[in-house]
């Protein structure tokens, strides 16, 4: 072959290589940051990371297809900023310790734009949990959404250091999700160790006792009993459609487990205290931090516990049942009522 022929074949080879690279780049899409109102890259085919659980810890996978359901059983919520095409996009700049700030964020959907249509779950369209990375501070707040899909809430983070924000929501027609993103507060930071495990917590003159254990891979019954001044509290007030809300975060990576109690106010069965019963399933063994929100005398208070989930082979404690097996407790108060990620 003459020189001109060889050069022609070489040029054709380069065209094939670069053409293939361009096609792959177009298939992957733009990987740049997303801002408010901008189009986010679609994540079609991305498997769900978790599914819903009812009050007894049973999985109700809400992903799309078998791959999504398989992923929902493997990955707890809150560990990903993007899932099933939905992405949590923080929009707030510098935050200073102890100073109120307008914390802003958006949720973009599979089409790339900001999501503006959400299901109302537990009286709110979105629940925002913010905790320090060392799990020593905790806030459960409810932002307001503007017409363009940007959420805003006044947030005061008490100390410098890293925090984790969890957005818990269900877009209309889509899966219930918990997405997580890191938030940083400027200044020097010294992490504290996880508080010691305990069965009793005190807050604002109230004492809360915990009975039951987290067992990895199994549904476990957790009973929290509220007292004030040594007397049982029998007139707890409904808060977000329940007598209590429980969030558990795994030490280390802050995997998110969110459950609600059996029953609901006004169902003719559930008493307003002193006991609040939950069914929860830990994704693995290890240390967890539990945060119980309850309302009494017109004020919401939070009691915090550190617990250890035993080995997966351990026998379930009394009242617990293997995962996926119905328990003898009251029926769930709705299909989203108690969910665990």
* 3-state SS record for 149-191: CEEEEEECCCCCEEEEEEEEECECCCCCEEEEEEEEECCCCCC
Can you give the pLDDT at residue 74? 65
Q: Let me know if 272 is exposed, middle or buried by CB neighbors in 10 A (0-12, 13-18, 19+).
A: middle
- pLDDT of amino acid 261: 77
Residue 221's contacts (CB-CB under 8 Å, 6 or more residues apart) are 212, 277, 278, 279, 317, 318, 319, 320, 327, 329
pLDDT at 327: 31
Tens of pLDDT, residue by residue, the chain (341 residues):
544 444 343 343 333 333 333 333 333 333 333 444 443 333 333 333 333 333 333 333 333 333 233 334 568 899 999 999 999 999 998 999 999 999 999 999 999 999 999 999 888 999 999 999 999 999 999 999 999 999 999 999 999 999 999 999 999 999 999 999 999 999 999 999 999 999 999 999 999 999 999 999 888 999 999 999 999 999 999 998 899 999 999 999 999 986 767 889 999 999 999 999 999 889 899 999 999 999 999 999 999 999 999 865 444 444 333 333 333 333 333 333 333 33
Token pair recorded at residue 285: 């063994």
Q: What is the pLDDT of residue 320?
A: 38
Alpha-carbon gap, residue 164 to 88, rounded angstroms: 12
Q: What's the CA gap between 153 and 25, in Å, rounded? A: 37
CA R_g for the chain: 23
Q: How far apart are CA 202 and CA 23, in angstroms?
A: 60
Contact 236, 296 (CB under 8 A): yes
Q: Report the pLDDT value the prediction gives residue 225, as an integer from 0 to 100.
A: 98
pLDDT of residue 167: 98
């Amino acid at each position: 072959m003459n020189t001109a022929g060889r050069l022609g074949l070489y040029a054709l080879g380069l065209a094939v290589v670069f053409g293939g690279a361009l096609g792959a780049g177009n298939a992957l899409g733009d990987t740049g940051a997303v801002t408010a109102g901008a189009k986010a890259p679609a994540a079609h085919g991305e498997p769900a990371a978790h599914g819903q659980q009812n009050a007894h810890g049973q999985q109700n996978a809400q992903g799309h297809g078998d791959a999504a359901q398989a992923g929902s059983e493997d990955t707890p919520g809150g560990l990903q900023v993007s899932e099933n095409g939905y992405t949590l996009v923080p929009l707030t700049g510098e935050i200073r310790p102890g100073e109120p700030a307008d914390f802003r964020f958006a949720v973009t959907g599979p089409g790339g734009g900001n999501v503006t249509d959400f299901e109302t779950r537990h009286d709110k369209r979105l629940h925002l949990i913010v905790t320090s990375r060392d799990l020593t501070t905790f806030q459960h707040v409810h932002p307001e959404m503007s017409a363009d899909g940007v959420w805003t809430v006044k947030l005061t983070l008490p100390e410098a250091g890293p925090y984790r924000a969890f957005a818990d929501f269900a877009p209309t027609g889509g899966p219930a999700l918990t997405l997580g993103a890191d938030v940083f507060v400027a200044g020097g930071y010294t992490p504290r160790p996880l508080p010691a495990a305990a069965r009793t917590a005190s807050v604002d003159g109230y004492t809360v006792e915990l009975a039951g254990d987290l067992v990895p891979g199994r549904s476990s019954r957790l009973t929290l009993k509220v007292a004030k001044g040594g007397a049982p509290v029998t007139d707890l007030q409904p808060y977000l459609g329940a007598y209590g809300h429980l969030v558990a975060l795994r030490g280390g990576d802050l995997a998110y487990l969110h459950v609600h109690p059996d029953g609901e106010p006004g169902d003719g069965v559930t008493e307003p205290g002193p006991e609040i019963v939950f069914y929860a399933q830990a994704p693995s063994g290890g240390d967890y931090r539990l945060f119980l929100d309850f309302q009494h005398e017109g004020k919401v208070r939070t009691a915090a516990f550190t617990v250890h989930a035993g080995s997966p082979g351990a026998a379930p404690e009394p009242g617990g049942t293997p995962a996926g097996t119905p328990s003898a407790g009251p029926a769930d108060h709705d299909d989203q009522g108690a969910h665990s990620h």
